[in-house]
Amino acid sequence: MLKNKGLIICAIWFCLGAVCIAQSNTKSPYSRYGYGKLADNSIGMSRAMGGIGYGLRNSQQINTMNPASYAAMDSLTFLFDIGANIQISKFTEGLKKGSNFNGGLDYIAMQFPVSKWMAVSAGLIPFTFVGYDYGQNVNDTILYHSGEGGLSEAYIGVGANVYKGLSVGLNFNYLFGNITYADEVYMPNNYYAQDSRFDQKVHVSDFRLLLGAQYTYRLNKKESLTLGVTFSPKKTLLGHITNKKAVYTSGSTSNAVIDTISRISLKNAYELPTSLGVGVSYMRDKQLTVGLDVTYQNWSDAKFDNRTDSLSNRLKIAVGGEFIPNVFSRNYFNKIHYRAGAFYNRSYEKVQNSKLNEYGVSCGLGFPLKNDKSMVNLALEYVHQEPTVKHLLKENYFRVSFSLSFNEMWFFKSKLQ
């Protein structure tokens, strides 16, 4: 027991450092818009279930999508979850095609009880990803665009059972990170021309709140329904933007001259929107779980670069489920968790006044470890994204996610001396 605790604590510290220097998990040109590609807070088992989570309550898995779910855990256990993913991206624009491979460490989270009716969770999860590079030739002038970085969230949350079937929760999230955009202009056929590069670095350092509630209604001894709701209020972002422009002789950056540099505050010019999530799940005898989630984010009312017309309202609908043939069987394959899901997402990114639609399907397995509580989760996801304007870039993703969920008995005293 003590050995396992020591390994987990060492892993936590290792992952804290690794997440802070993690590279972007995307190579999408559409991540140039807004704050980048949004990363929903689904972790572990949820990844294979279409990303649902608002109505899920599981005593053996962490659910960061709704902090009210923390109160469902066993009062004698400690939970630790670490996840990673790899992704293959395919791009199509007319007759042009391309591909990319990327991935890395995704998140870490832990959870522990502070009483029989209250539990605390903490961890690091992604908020957005930015990663792209592409160019175009216009009248012998090459325009090159690139970007990297993203925003992460360090959170600490608490969930409590406050009445029969009713639980509430709160996540206090520290949002931080850097996003770097670069636009370059080359004129290779004009020896006397001066090339230029414009860099913009967006630094965010701020806090936001996520409120959650769940109510579970017992249909009978084996069946139950859980309704979950989350809410995150609109807020202005704190941080700053550093702009830098460099001019240099064509073909060489060694003689670059910094032409202009400025630093401005994000306050009152950049905002996060009001976000609302509603979900319902049905559970039968801890063997079958199915759920439906709806997410709505009012991005069109949030400022981005002091404008409210550059982003679209986001709507996501997700369904998913899990089936365990026989939890108590001696046959290992009967104890495996079989999962599947699907979703539709109308993205908040707006490209040439076109909206982006995403369609995704997922499936996966949960492999119980020796004690039947800790688990290895595997999820396979396929996502297709295309704008409403047909001639723009289409994207297809195939993503493989792995996670390891430790469930250890920590908070008990042995009667054996």
Instruction: Give per-residue pLDDT as tens, 80-133.
Output: 999 999 999 888 887 788 888 888 888 999 999 998 899 999 999 999 999 888
Q: Does the pLDDT value for residue 24 go beyond 60?
A: no
Q: Does the pLDDT value for residue 379 go beyond 90?
A: yes
pLDDT at 2: 45
Measured distance CA(215)–CA(329) in Å, rounded: 31
Average pLDDT over every residue of 226-236 = 96
Residue 152, token pair as written in the block = 């992460």
- Of 28-37, 342-351, 365-374, which range is least confident? 365-374
What's the N-to-C CA distance of the chain in angstroms? Answer: 15
Beta bridge partners of 180: 148, 201
- Of 47-51, 92-96, 223-227, 322-326, which range is least confident? 92-96
Q: Please answer whether residues 338 and 323 qualify as being in contact, where contact means their C-beta atoms are separated by less than 8 angstroms.
A: yes
- Label residue 22 by pLDDT band (50, 70, 90): very low
Average pLDDT over every residue of 273-281 = 97
In this structure, how many other beta carbons lie within 10 angstroms of the beta carbon of residue 396? 15
> Is 2.40.160.60 the CATH classification of the domain at 2-404?
yes
Average pLDDT over every residue of 367-387 = 89
Measured distance CA(95)–CA(65) in Å, rounded: 40
* Residue 117 amino acid letter: W
Measured distance CA(151)–CA(384) in Å, rounded: 23
Task: State the DSSP string of 151-212.
Answer: EEEEEEEEEEEEETTEEEEEEEEEEEEEEEEEEEEE-TT-TT-EEEEEEEEEEEEEEEEEEE
pLDDT at 65: 95
pLDDT at 1: 45
Tell me the backbone φ, ψ of residue 334, rounded to 5 degrees: -75, -15
Measured distance CA(170)–CA(188) in Å, rounded: 56
- Label residue 254 by pLDDT band (50, 70, 90): low
Burial of 135 (0-12, 13-18, 19+ CB in 10 A): exposed
* Residue 311 per-residue DSSP state: B
Nearest residue to 125 via CA among 35, 211, 62:
62
Residue 378, token pair as written in the block = 């595997």
Average pLDDT over every residue of 227-254 = 84
Average pLDDT over every residue of 9-16 = 53
What confidence tens digit (pLDDT) does each residue in 192-209 have?
A: 667 788 889 999 999 999
SS3 letters for 265-280?
Answer: ECCCCCEECCEEEEEE
Whole-structure pTM value:
0.89
- Label residue 255 by pLDDT band (50, 70, 90): low
Q: Does the pLDDT value for residue 252 go beyond 60?
A: no
- Label residue 398 by pLDDT band (50, 70, 90): very high
- Label residue 213 by pLDDT band (50, 70, 90): very high
SS3 letters for 353-390?
Answer: CEEEEEEEEEEEEEEECCCCCCEEEEEEEEEEEEECCC
Measured distance CA(152)–CA(173) in Å, rounded: 10
Q: Does the pLDDT value for residue 307 go beyond 80?
A: yes
- Return the percentage of the chain with pLDDT > 70, whole number: 88
Residue 230, token pair as written in the block = 């989350």
Residue 346, token pair as written in the block = 């109308």
* Residue 70 per-residue DSSP state: G
- Label residue 11 by pLDDT band (50, 70, 90): low
Q: Does the pLDDT value for residue 4 go beyond 60?
A: no
Measured distance CA(127)–CA(134) in Å, rounded: 24
HSE-CB for 130 with a 13 A CA cutoff? 22
- Label residue 21 by pLDDT band (50, 70, 90): very low
Average pLDDT over every residue of 289-316 = 94
Q: Does the pLDDT value for residue 287 go beyond 50?
A: yes
* Residue bearing the bigger pLDDT, 48 or 245: 48
